[in-house]
Chains A and B, each alone.
Chain A
Amino acid sequence: MTEAEALHKFGFLLGAFEYGAPPHGGIAFGFDRLCSILGGSESIRDFIAFPKNNSGRDVMLDAPGTIDQHQLDELHIQLNKE
């Protein structure tokens, strides 16, 4: 990452570090995976109440789905129709 890119993407954080940042560190645990291991299962899906399938779809809600033209207009979005 160039310095300009870094400033653009993380400028607020770099800026914040100018105001007395303490030494710090952390961790993030994969909660779904932790549960599946403790539960003796190979699938994290089994431990999520409403999971997506392997194509990233929620087949119960049928999401993702299309939205109305009206919504698109409000959002200033034009679809690339191919």
Chain B
Amino acid sequence: MYRSHTCGALRMQDVNQTVTLAGWVQTIRKFGAITFIDLRDRYGITQLLLGEELNSQLTDQPLGREYVLQATGKVTERSNKNSQIETGDIEVAVTSFTILNKSAVPPFTIQDDTDGGDDIRMKYRFLDLRRNAVKKNLELRYAVNRSARNYLHQQGFMDIETPFLIKSTPEGARDFVVPSRMNAGQFYALPQSPQTFKQLLMVSGYDRYYQIVKCFRDEDLRADRQPEFTQIDCEMAFVEQEDILQMFEQLIKQIFKDVKQIDYTALVERISWEEAMWTYGNDKPDIRFNMKLANYKFPLHTFPEKKETLSNSILSSGATGFPVFDQAETIIGFAAAGCSEYTRKQIDELTEWIKRPQIGMQGMVYIKCNLDGTFKSSVDKFFGEESLQKIAAATGAQAGDLVLVLAGKEEKTRKAASELRLEMGKRLGLRKENEFKLLWVLDFPLFEYAEEENRWVARHHPFTAPKPDHIAVMIDNDPEIKDAAKYLEHPYAGIKANAYDMVLKVDPSEFSSDRFRKKCLQHWV
């Protein structure tokens, strides 16, 4: 037996017990004739005290960081307690020790605040995994995994493995391919998801299937993407969309409860894709803060149901006298609360932000809704006090707010407005790390525009069901596009699917890299 206890187990009640521990040497500290060693394993750290009588062995067999050590001794109460660690009240007065294995000098310190940079820690990942911070993450991952499995098992889902060596179907992202030795000139592909297999399993009658499964996509890597990643993949038969939404929002709520001890009892809000784009400019919006968009002007074909808004808008006429607005396809604004006192410098900096290549806008209009009820804007030359008041009012702005307005082509402007909204939310501290909010986004478009082919292609995969009343539009029209510049006016642009996404946002940072997306689909059969 290598050990009687782990390095995280001993407490005051174990004092006077003789124990044997095994682990890695984290630190060695000498105090005169006495040596203190922090011994670490997966469960914690225990302080060892090596007295004078072991000094000759220590001289013969010197210890070093990350040596694998076995030590036997008596648990004693510490005179100098450490409340930072769970074993901090005790130490082990060692009577004998054995070096089980030596270690080369590690290239970085195995501590919470390690001195190792990203690259070196990636290269020595097996050492990085010894660090508490990384271990905690893997423990959390396992807790999520266990919670999901428990819930799905209780609900009667069956874990069925599907193959990794499958057929290449050049659709969506690129496949990783695997050459076949037995079949000259032929290749397998690694699955981008088990999509087809899970549907086949439905045909086979396994009406509740799940798998926590690796997926592979040979995408051009953006920040924080992995060519192999893991999905909790689920499929159900004899269900309507509503059944699926309920089953899986309950899954996420259960995970919250098991892993974070959060009781998420609130109903999960729902929003249509179109409404999300209209209100937030984003199909995975952060709804933890308000800051809704005001749509002053937009191409009617993109939001046909918002006709009323367009006719009521002060900026939609195309005859405001301000060329930027008059020539724009779309004008969107929103109010940043309490920012009316922004300095010239702060506004210039925001303008530069919006002009960055990732956003690519030409500029930005601002209206300061001063506390004294007056308005000051960058377009005072074109708009009087009354017009400014109307423009600001459309965003719901109060005195003390700063209204930001963007104008340009529909898609670019909407995206930029969304990014600016998120950025302002971040700057104003509205995107709180520990606040979780779930949202269902429903009725995704069935098709997306493939620029290279100049036609409409399935947005998710070709077995997604259109909304029943959109089927006719699909049958009556050709996905081929005649005028590329006007593709948004093509009837296919408006076809919506029984496709939904769950969004869970927390403290996102950089541009569009950090969204949590769960694709869910009702298949059309």
Interface residue tally for chain B (C-beta within 8 Å): 86
Q: Could you say which of B98-106, B221-229, B366-374, B375-383 contacts chain A?
A: B221-229
Residue from the list B230, B241, B502 in contact with A32, Cβ < 8 A = B230
Tell me, yes or no, whether B507 is within 8 Å of chain A by CB.
Answer: yes
Q: Are B244 and A44 in contact (CB under 8 A)?
A: no
Q: Decide: A28 near B193, CB < 8 A? Known: A35-B137, A35-B140.
A: yes
CB <8 Å contact, B169 and A10: yes
B248 touches A34 (CB 8 A): no
CB pair B523 A25 closer than 8 Å:
yes
Q: Does A80 touch B at the CB level, under 8 Å?
A: no
The 8 Å CB contact of A16, one of B123, B203, B239, is B203
Range, interface on chain A: 35 or more
On whether the beta carbons of B462 and A30 are closer than 8 Å, the reply is: no
Q: Do A13 and B498 form a contact, CB below 8 Å, given A29-B518, A30-B231, A34-B516?
A: no
Contact A19 B232 (CB under 8 A): no
Q: Are B239 and A23 in contact (CB under 8 A)?
A: yes
Taking each of A19, A37, A43, which has the highest tally of chain B beta carbons within 10 Å of its own beta carbon?
Answer: A37
Query: What is the distance, in angstroms, from B345's C-beta to the closest C-beta of chain A?
Result: 28
Q: Which residues of B contact A46 (CB under 8 A)?
A: 134, 137
B320 interface contact, C-beta 8 A: no
Is B137 a contact partner of A25 (Cβ separation < 8 A)?
Answer: no
Q: How far is the CB of B496 from chain A (nearest CB, A)?
A: 15
Find out whether the CB atom of A32 lies under 8 angstroms from the CB atom of B229. Answer: yes
A1–B171 Cα gap in the complex (Å)?
10
Q: Report the separation of the CA atoms of residues A44 and B77 in the bound assembly, to the nearest whole angstrom.
A: 41
Task: Report how far A56 CA is from B523 CA in the complex, Å.
Answer: 32
Q: Is the CB of A52 within 8 A of B507?
A: no
Contact of A28 among B126, B171, B520 (CB under 8 A): B520
In the complex, which residues of chain A have a beta carbon less than 8 angstroms from the beta carbon of B124? 60
Q: Which of B137, B203, B233, B517 is in CB contact (< 8 Å) with A26?
A: B233
Q: Does B521 contact A (CB under 8 A)?
A: yes
**Closest Cβ neighbor of B228 among chain A residues:** A52
Which listed residue, B136, B181, B233, B457, touches A74 by the CB 8 Å rule? Answer: B181
Are B233 and A45 in contact (CB-based, < 8 A)? no
On whether the beta carbons of B509 and A21 are closer than 8 Å, the reply is: no
Interface check A20, CB cutoff 8 A: yes
Stretch at the interface among B194-202, B293-301, B309-317: B194-202
Is there an interface contact between B122 and A53, defined as CB atoms closer than 8 Å? Answer: yes
B125 within 8 A of A: yes
Cβ distance A68 to chain B, nearest Cβ, rounded Å? 13
A50 to B185 Cα, complex, angstroms: 32
Chain B residues with CB under 8 Å of chain A are 119, 122-126, 129, 134, 136-138, 140-141, 144-145, 169-171, 179-181, 184-185, 193, 196, 198-200, 202-203, 205, 207, 212, 221, 223-224, 226-241, 244, 248, 252, 255-256, 259-260, 433-434, 436, 457-458, 462-463, 498, 502, 504-510, 514-523, 525
**11 pairs from A and B in contact (CB 8 Å cutoff):** A21-B202, A22-B207, A23-B239, A27-B234, A27-B520, A35-B137, A39-B136, A40-B506, A49-B138, A51-B125, A76-B179
Interface residues of A (CB under 8 A from B): 1, 6, 9-10, 12-13, 16-17, 19-35, 37-56, 59-60, 74-77
Which 4 pairs, one residue from A and one from B, show the smallest C-beta to C-beta distance?
Answer: A26-B235, A27-B520, A25-B522, A31-B230
